[in-house]
């Protein structure tokens, strides 16, 4: 098991934000993290890369408790693309993607051909190879999102955490980015709001509500009409997809 979250709890102030969450992701697979606004998805992703500390429970990466892994080892192996990533505006696309190499380089080590290759490959994978010199502040919202994803790929992580990576992306790039993630030999957790994209690209799903996992398993088992109504308060019609063999959701207004 590459990522294992075992009975994890996280509190802020007096409220439990993540409440007894357990989930696992096998090596190389993609877990989709679903749930309404405020259900705890971003908080859980931050706990998994140790940006926040659990109140109780254990998170394991490749069998090791993250509390026992050094910060530098965590930085080398896990990449997080945050929901609202900020970037210094006085930089180029290349500067941002190069940041992904920082955990792999010592304070005095020279920039290597290997670092260059990782950066070029990451830019190409998100279709931004022609934009390396473009100033960050001139990019569109979707282009910024793709550059942040390239930074994470340049890190060559073994675990990749993506918080709503399809925000701002047009439909083609939504499909491209999730298609790319699903083909990488990297264990990934992707927080998503689009249930159809989650069904298409994720090997398994976990649904959070008020900080608790209320459903988990293969997309076609998790995404039932009953669950969508109970958790998201929306009536929907769920059909088996003739395109990708999983499920296809149509929402009903009112």
Beta carbon nearer to Mg ion, 41 or 148: 41
83 belongs to the binding site for ligand ATP (CB under 6 A): yes
Beta carbon of residue 217, minimum distance to ligand ATP (angstroms, whole number): 20
Query: Cα dihedral angle (149, 150, 156, 158), rounded to 10 degrees?
Result: 20
Scanning residues 2 to 21, which ones bind ligand ATP (CB under 6 A)? 12-13, 17
The one of Mg ion, ligand ATP, none whose footprint includes residue 167, by CB under 5 to 8 A per kind, is none
Beta carbon nearer to ligand ATP, 167 or 241: 167
The one of Mg ion, ligand ATP, none whose footprint includes residue 100, by CB under 5 to 8 A per kind, is none
Scanning residues 133 to 162, which ones bind ligand ATP (CB under 6 A)? none
The one of ligand ATP, Mg ion, none whose footprint includes residue 23, by CB under 5 to 8 A per kind, is none
Query: Which range touches Mg ion (CB under 5 A), out of 7-15, 22-30, 36-44, 212-220?
Result: 36-44
CA 125 to chain centroid, in Å, comes to 16
196 belongs to the binding site for Mg ion (CB under 5 A): no
The footprint of ligand ATP on this chain (CB under 6 A) covers a number of residues equal to 12
42 belongs to the binding site for Mg ion (CB under 5 A): yes
Beta carbon of residue 210, minimum distance to ligand ATP (angstroms, whole number): 9
Kindly report the three-state secondary structure assignment for every residue of the chain: CCEEEEEEEEEECCEEEEEEEEEEECCCCEEEEECCCCCCHHHHHHHHCCCCCCCEEEEEECCEEHHHCCHHHHHHHEEEECCCCCCCCCCEHHHHHHHHHHHHCCCCCCCCHHHHHHHHHHHHHCCCHHHCCCEHHHCCHHHHHHHHHHHHHHCCCCEEEEECCCCCCCHHHHHHHHHHHHHCCCEEEEECCCHHHHHHHCCEEEEEECCEEEEEECHHHHCCHHHHHHHHCCCEEEEECCCCCCEEEEECCC
195 belongs to the binding site for ligand ATP (CB under 6 A): no
Beta carbon of residue 230, minimum distance to ligand ATP (angstroms, whole number): 17
Contact 161, 48 (CB under 8 A): yes
The one of Mg ion, ligand ATP, none whose footprint includes residue 38, by CB under 5 to 8 A per kind, is ligand ATP
Scanning residues 32 to 51, which ones bind ligand ATP (CB under 6 A)? 35, 37-43
Applying CB under 5 A, the residues found at the interface with Mg ion are: 41-42, 83
Applying CB under 6 A, the residues found at the interface with ligand ATP are: 12-13, 17, 35, 37-43, 83
């Amino acid at each position: 098991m590459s990522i294992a979250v075992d009975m994890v709890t996280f509190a802020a102030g007096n409220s439990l934000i993540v409440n007894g969450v357990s989930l696992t992701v096998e090596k190389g697979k993609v877990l989709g993290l679903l749930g309404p606004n405020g259900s705890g998805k971003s908080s859980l992703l931050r706990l998994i890369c140790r940006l926040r500390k659990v109140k109780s429970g254990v998170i394991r990466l490749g069998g090791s408790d993250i509390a026992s892994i050094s910060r530098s080892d965590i930085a080398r192996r896990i990449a997080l693309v945050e929901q609202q990533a900020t970037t210094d505006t006085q930089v180029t696309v290349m500067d941002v993607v190069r940041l992904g190499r920082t955990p792999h380089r010592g304070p005095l080590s020279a920039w290597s051909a290997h670092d260059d290759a990782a950066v070029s490959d990451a830019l190409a994978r998100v279709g931004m190879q022609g934009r390396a010199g473009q100033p960050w502040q001139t990019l569109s919202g979707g282009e910024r999102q793709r550059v942040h994803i390239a930074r994470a790929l340049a890190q060559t992580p073994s675990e990749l955490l993506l918080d709503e990576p399809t925000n701002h992306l047009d439909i083609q790039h939504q499909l491209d980015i999730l298609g790319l993630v699903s083909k990488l030999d990297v264990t990934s957790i992707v927080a998503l709001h689009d249930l159809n994209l989650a069904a298409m690209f994720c090997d398994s799903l976990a649904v959070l509500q008020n900080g608790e996992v209320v459903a988990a398993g293969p997309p076609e088992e998790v995404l039932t009409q009953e669950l969508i109504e109970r958790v998201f308060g929306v009536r929907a019609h769920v059909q088996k997809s003739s395109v990708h063999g999983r499920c296809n959701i149509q929402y009903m207004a009112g």
